[in-house]
C-alpha cells in the first residue's frame, strides 16, 4: 500500500529549480525583439500636470517611444463595476490629474533597459500643485462599509437591559482604555513587480506575478477593451505577494498597451522605490480599545473603534475588529466601529493578515493591560474569557482547540517561569521579559476548479490555475493528488500558474490550500469513475462487459474478477493516452458553523538597560489549523508569519511627509524589515487535528479514494496575526513601559 504524503515533511517539488536559479520569474522570460519600458513618477502629492518635456528623452540613444500624460495612443479603458475593488479607479497616463506622490506620469520605451532608464531621467514635468490631504486627524470620517465577509463594519451587541456600550463599561469593575497606532507599512516582496507583454495578432500573453490569476486576466482584458479569452496570464513562479499582487496595478496595462501600440513585446520592471508607491501598502491606522471586566478578569464589554486612510484611487476598507474583537472572546456587550478618511496617498491594499494583524495588536495588547490591571495571568485571563461559540452569531465553531494552543504553548515556552512584575528579570545589562497573545484568522473557501489527467505511463497531472507565491502551492497540489490517487508523489505532476488552466483558488486570505485540496480529491474520484467506465465499455479491456460497481480502485490500480491492472496499463491496453476527471465548487462552506484557525504566541525579549536595544530571543507558536498537508511547508509559513509580526512590532514604518504626501522611506535602506540576525529559532508546533466540518469534496460520501476527512484550514496568515502583540507585551514585561504606537523603537523606551 502506498503511504500517503499528507502531513509529512515533504521537499518542495519546485525546490531544486528555485535554489539553482532556473525557475523563471516574470522578469526572466525572453521574447524576440523585446523593448524595455521605464516609468517616471510624479513629485507632487496632488494637482495637475501643466507640461511634460520629453524632447531630451526622445533624442536619447535607443529610445523608441515616450508616452506622457495625457497620451491617447495607449487606449486604456475603465473596468466593470464588479471588478472596481481590484484595480485603480483612474487610467494611467489618461489625463493630467495627479492623485498621489509617486503616480506614473510618463513612460519611456527603448531598446534596452539601461537606455530606457537613462532617458527617463531626462524627462521633466511642471505642475499646478495643491496641498495634499494626508492626515487622519484633519479630514472628515466616513464608515468603512461592509467587511470582507459582508457584515457591517459597525455593529453592536448588548445584553438585555443594557442601553449602550458606554453603560456596560461604566458598570464594569475594571476598565482599560487605550489608543493604538500603526504607521504605513509596505509588502516588500522579494521579486520586483515585472511584466512582459507579448501580442500574437489579437491575443495577449502576459508574464506577471498575480495572486488571483483569473481575475487579473479579466481585469487586464477590460483595461485593453478585448475579450477575456484573448488574454493568457503566465504566473508560474512568484517571489512573494502578501497582498501586493492581488490588484491589477498600472504596470501591466501600460506595458500591454505600449506593446500593442508598438507591435512588439514590451517588458516593464518597476524599481524598488516605485514598488513602494505603485503596488499598495498597509494603511495608517489608529484604534481605540475599551475593555470592561470584573475584578477577576471576566469580560463584560468590548469596544473597538478604528480610523484608517482611504486613498482616492484605490483602498482596502480596514475593519480591524472584524474576526478579532467580534470573534475571539466571550462577552455579553460588544461594539465595533470602523471609519475611514479620504486622503491623497498611494493606494492602500490588503497586507498579510490585513485586518487581523493590526486588530490583534490592539486587542491583545489591551488584554495584556487588563491582565496587569486585574492581576490575572495573561494565559488564565484568556481561558476565563474563552468563547465556545462565535460571540456575535452564536454559531458553533467548525473546530476549535485554542485552549490547547495556550496550554501546550505555555509548557513548551516555559511560561510558568515568567514574573508578572516588570523589570524583575535582569541579566547583566539586559532586562528580560515574556509576553503572549492569541491568534485567530477566518477560514474561507473560494470558487475553484481542478482537473486530473491520468496518463498511460502511470503518472497523473493535477491542473488548477492557482499561483505559488513561495508558499508551497506546487507541492500542495502534488501531495493532494498523490494522496487522492494513492500513488507515489514522484508520479504526480502539478500544473499551475496559467490562466488557461481550470480556475484556481485565489492565493489570498489563507485560502488556496483550504479551497483546492477537497477539489483535488473530487477530481480524482471523478477520474477513477471514468476509468471504471472505460474499463467496462472498451472492447480491449479485460473487464469489458463487467459491472463497473464490481471494480475496486486502490493504489493506482483497478481490481476485480481476479484481475489487477494499473491505470496506465489499462489506458495503454485500450489505446487511450489519458483521461480526465474534474471537480468544481462555488466557494463557501455550510452556514451552520463558524470557520476559523487559531493559535497562541509566546515571546521572550531582552532590552538593554542603557541603550534600550530590543532583541527577540525566543518565540513559540502553537497553531490549530486543521489537518496539516505538508508539515515542512506549514512550519515554514508559520515561521515567516512570525517574522512578519516581529517586523510589524519593532521595525516597519514608511514615514509619510504630511506636507508633500511623499513616502520618505521608500527604499530598502530606509524601510527596515527583519534580517536573520534579528530572528531567533522559532519553535512552531502544529496540533494537526482535522476539522470535521471541512471534509473531502462537499456532499461526497467518501468512497474508496483518498483521505476523506482531510479537514485542512488556512495557515498563511495565522503566524502574523497576534505575533506583534506578543512582542509588545514582552517588551512591557521587560521594561514596564507600554508602547502603543508601532514600531516599538528604542527612542520610545528611553
DSSP letter (8 states) at residue 348: P
717 is catalytic: yes
- Rounded distance, CA 172 to CA 299, Å? 8
- Rounded distance, CA 306 to CA 321, Å? 8
- Rounded distance, CA 623 to CA 716, Å? 11
Query: Do the Cβ atoms of 258 and 214 come closer than 8 Å?
Result: no
- Rounded distance, CA 666 to CA 278, Å? 11
Residue 20 CB burial class (10 angstroms; 0-12, 13-18, ≥19): exposed
Residues paired with residue 590 on neighbouring β-strands, in sequence order: none
Residue 390's Cα: distance from chain center in Å?
24
Closest CA to 69 of 45, 97, 47: 97
For strand 266-269 and strand 194-200, is the pairing parallel, antiparallel, or unpaired? antiparallel
* φ, ψ of residue 267 in degrees (nearest 5): -115, 130
Cβ-proximal residues to 489 (8 Å cutoff; 6+ apart), any chain: 5, 10, 13, 478, 479, 482
- Helix runs in 375-429, H state only: 378-384, 402-413
Query: Do the Cβ atoms of 318 and 285 come closer than 8 Å?
Result: yes
DSSP letter (8 states) at residue 656: B
- Rounded distance, CA 720 to CA 113, Å? 37
Q: Which three cell numbers stand for residue 536?
A: 467496462
User: 375-402 in b/e burial notation, b at 16+ Cβ within 10 A?
Assistant: ebbbbebbebbebeebbbeeeebbbbbb
Query: Do the Cβ atoms of 461 and 453 come closer than 8 Å?
Result: yes
Closest CA to 180 of 288, 82, 93: 288
Query: Do the Cβ atoms of 87 and 47 come closer than 8 Å?
Result: no
Residues paired with residue 109 on neighbouring β-strands, in sequence order: 37, 65
Q: Do you know the residue count of the chain?
A: 750
Which residue in the list 88, 356, 495, 717 is annotated as catalytic?
Answer: 717
Closest CA to 289 of 439, 158, 178, 168: 178
Q: Give the orientation angle of helix 631-650 with respect to helix 356-374, to 10 degrees.
A: 70
- Rounded distance, CA 595 to CA 327, Å? 11
Closest CA to 290 of 373, 355, 356: 373
Half-sphere exposure of residue 402: CA atoms within 13 angstroms, side-chain side = 28
Cα dihedral value 530, 533, 539, 544, nearest 10: 140
Closest CA to 129 of 663, 665, 662, 664: 662
Query: Do the Cβ atoms of 439 and 624 come closer than 8 Å?
Result: no
Cβ-proximal residues to 397 (8 Å cutoff; 6+ apart), any chain: 388, 389, 390, 593, 594, 595, 596
Q: Known catalytic residues?
A: 717
Amino acid at each position: 500500500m502506498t503511504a500517503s504524503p499528507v502531513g509529512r515533511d515533504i521537499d518542495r517539488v519546485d525546490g531544486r529549480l528555485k535554489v539553482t536559479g532556473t525557475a523563471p520569474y516574470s522578469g526572466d522570460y525572453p521574447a524576440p525583439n523585446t523593448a524595455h519600458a521605464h516609468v517616471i513618477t510624479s513629485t507632487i502629492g496632488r494637482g495637475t500636470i501643466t507640461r511634460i518635456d520629453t524632447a531630451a528623452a526622445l533624442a536619447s540613444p535607443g529610445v523608441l517611444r515616450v508616452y506622457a500624460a495625457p497620451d491617447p495612443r495607449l487606449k486604456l479603458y475603465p473596468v466593470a463595476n464588479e471588478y472596481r475593488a481590484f484595480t485603480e479607479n483612474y487610467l494611467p497616463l489618461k489625463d493630467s490629474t495627479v492623485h498621489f506622490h509617486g503616480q506614473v506620469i510618463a513612460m519611456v520605451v527603448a531598446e534596452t533597459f539601461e537606455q530606457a532608464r537613462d532617458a527617463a531621467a531626462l524627462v521633466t514635468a511642471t505642475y499646478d500643485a495643491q496641498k495634499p490631504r494626508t492626515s487622519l486627524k484633519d479630514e472628515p470620517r466616513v464608515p468603512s462599509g461592509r467587511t470582507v465577509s459582508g457584515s457591517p463594519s459597525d455593529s453592536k451587541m448588548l445584553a438585555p437591559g443594557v442601553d449602550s456600550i458606554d453603560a456596560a463599561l461604566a458598570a464594569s469593575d475594571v476598565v482599560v482604555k487605550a489608543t493604538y497606532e500603526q504607521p504605513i507599512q509596505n509588502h516588500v516582496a522579494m521579486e520586483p513587480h515585472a511584466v512582459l507583454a507579448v501580442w500574437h495578432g489579437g491575443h495577449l500573453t502576459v508574464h506577471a506575478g498575480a495572486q488571483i490569476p483569473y481575475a487579473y486576466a479579466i481585469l487586464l482584458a477590460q483595461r485593453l477593451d478585448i475579450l477575456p479569452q484573448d488574454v493568457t496570464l503566465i504566473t508560474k513562479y512568484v517571489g512573494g505577494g502578501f497582498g501586493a499582487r492581488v490588484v491589477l496595478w498600472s504596470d501591466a496595462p501600460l506595458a500591454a498597451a505600449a506593446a500593442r501600440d508598438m507591435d512588439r513585446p514590451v517588458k516593464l520592471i518597476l524599481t524598488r522605490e516605485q514598488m513602494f508607491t505603485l503596488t499598495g501598502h498597509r494603511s495608517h491606522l489608529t484604534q481605540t480599545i475599551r475593555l470592561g471586566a470584573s475584578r477577576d478578569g471576566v469580560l463584560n464589554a468590548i469596544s473597538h473603534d478604528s480610523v484608517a486612510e482611504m486613498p482616492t484611487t484605490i483602498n482596502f476598507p480596514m475593519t480591524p475588529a472584524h474576526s478579532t474583537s467580534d470573534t475571539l472572546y466571550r462577552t455579553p456587550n460588544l461594539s465595533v466601529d470602523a471609519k475611514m478618511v479620504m486622503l491623497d496617498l498611494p493606494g492602500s491594499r490588503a497586507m498579510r493578515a490585513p485586518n487581523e494583524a493590526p486588530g490583534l495588536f490592539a486587542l491583545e495588547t489591551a488584554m495584556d493591560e487588563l491582565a496587569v490591571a486585574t492581576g490575572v495571568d495573561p494565559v488564565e485571563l484568556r481561558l476565563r474569557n474563552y468563547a465556545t461559540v462565535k460571540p456575535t452569531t452564536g454559531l458553533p465553531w467548525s473546530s476549535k482547540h485554542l485552549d490547547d494552543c495556550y496550554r501546550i504553548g505555555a509548557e513548551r515556552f516555559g511560561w510558568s517561569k515568567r514574573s508578572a512584575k516588570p523589570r524583575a528579570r535582569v541579566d547583566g545589562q539586559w532586562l528580560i521579559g515574556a509576553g503572549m497573545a492569541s491568534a485567530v484568522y477566518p477560514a474561507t473557501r473560494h470558487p475553484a476548479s481542478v482537473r486530473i489527467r491520468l496518463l498511460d505511463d502511470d503518472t497523473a497531472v493535477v491542473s488548477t490555475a492557482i499561483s505559488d507565491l513561495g508558499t508551497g502551492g506546487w507541492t500542495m497540489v502534488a501531495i493532494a493528488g498523490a494522496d487522492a490517487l494513492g500513488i507515489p508523489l514522484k508520479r504526480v505532476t502539478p500544473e499551475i500558474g496559467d490562466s488557461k488552466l481550470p480556475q484556481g483558488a485565489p492565493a489570498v486570505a489563507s485560502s488556496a490550500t483550504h479551497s483546492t485540496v477537497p477539489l483535488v480529491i473530487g477530481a480524482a474520484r471523478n477520474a477513477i469513475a471514468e476509468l471504471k467506465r472505460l474499463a467496462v465499455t472498451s472492447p480491449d479491456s479485460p473487464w469489458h462487459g463487467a459491472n463497473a460497481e464490481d471494480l475496486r480502485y486502490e493504489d493506482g490500480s483497478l481490481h476485480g474478477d481476479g484481475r489487477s491492472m494499473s491505470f496506465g496499463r489499462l489506458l495503454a491496453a485500450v489505446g487511450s493516452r489519458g483521461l480526465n476527471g474534474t471537480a468544481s465548487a462555488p466557494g463557501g462552506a455550510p452556514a451552520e458553523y463558524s470557520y476559523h484557525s487559531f493559535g497562541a504566541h509566546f515571546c521572550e525579549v531582552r532590552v538593554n538597560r542603557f541603550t534600550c536595544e530590543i532583541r527577540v530571543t525566543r518565540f513559540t507558536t502553537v497553531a490549530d489549523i486543521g489537518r496539516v498537508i505538508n508539515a515542512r511547508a506549514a512550519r515554514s509559513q508559520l515561521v515567516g508569519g512570525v517574522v512578519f509580526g516581529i517586523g510589524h512590532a519593532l521595525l516597519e514604518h514608511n514615514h509619510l511627509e504630511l506636507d508633500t504626501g511623499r513616502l520618505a522611506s521608500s527604499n530598502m535602506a530606509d524601510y527596515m524589515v527583519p534580517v536573520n540576525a534579528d530572528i531567533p529559532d522559532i519553535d512552531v508546533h502544529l496540533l494537526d487535528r482535522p476539522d470535521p466540518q471541512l471534509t473531502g469534496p462537499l456532499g461526497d460520501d467518501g468512497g474508496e479514494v483518498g483521505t476523506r476527512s482531510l479537514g485542512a484550514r488556512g495557515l498563511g496568515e495565522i503566524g502574523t496575526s497576534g505575533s506583534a502583540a506578543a512582542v509588545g507585551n514582552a517588551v512591557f514585561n521587560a521594561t514596564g513601559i507600554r508602547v502603543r504606537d508601532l514600531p516599538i523603537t528604542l527612542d520610545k523606551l528611553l
